[in-house]
């Protein structure tokens, strides 16, 4: 995939935390688009709903929902992100934070690799299972 300046980006060459940085934005945008499709709501309500998807515990649970669906390569990217050395905030469970970082790295990798259909597939599973719970 290319960036805004049309420079080639090789996702495999980026650090796990670089992938997680991109994936955080991708995942957050997918959550916001999903919530916006649900109809107009006050911004404060949309924000609270988004936080229910993007906090470390919610992202760790999201990973648990899609884990059986991941390919070996996707699992390897997740593990790179999970073990990437990010330091959790004081209020986050370290295990949840590591899983969340792994999930974000996976989403960043898939996005930068041009795998939008796979992103939609995995995100759809996360949303469907979260909303049925």
Annotation says 18 is catalytic: no
**Residue from 115, 99, 133, 132 nearest 26 by CA:** 115
Whether 65 and 99 have beta carbons less than 8 Å apart is answered as: no
Check residue 114 and give left, alpha or beta (phi > 0: left; psi -120 to 50: alpha).
Answer: left
Catalytic member of 3, 6, 18, 24: 24
Q: At what angle do helices 16-37 and 116-132 cross, to 10 degrees?
A: 60
Catalytic residues: 24
């Amino acid at each position: 995939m290319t960036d805004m300046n049309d420079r080639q980006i090789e996702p495999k060459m980026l650090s796990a935390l670089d992938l997680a940085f991109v994936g955080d934005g991708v995942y957050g945008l997918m959550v916001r688009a999903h919530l916006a499709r649900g109809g107009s709501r006050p911004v404060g309500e949309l924000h609270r709903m988004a936080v229910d998807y993007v906090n470390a515990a919610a992202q760790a649970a999201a990973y648990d929902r899609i884990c059986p669906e991941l390919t070996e390569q996707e699992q390897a990217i997740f593990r790179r992100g999970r073990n990437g050395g990010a330091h959790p905030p004081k209020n986050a469970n370290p295990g949840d934070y590591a899983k969340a970082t792994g999930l974000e790295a996976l989403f960043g990798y898939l996005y930068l690799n041009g795998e939008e259909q796979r992103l939609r597939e995995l995100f759809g599973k996360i949303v469907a299972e979260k909303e049925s719970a």
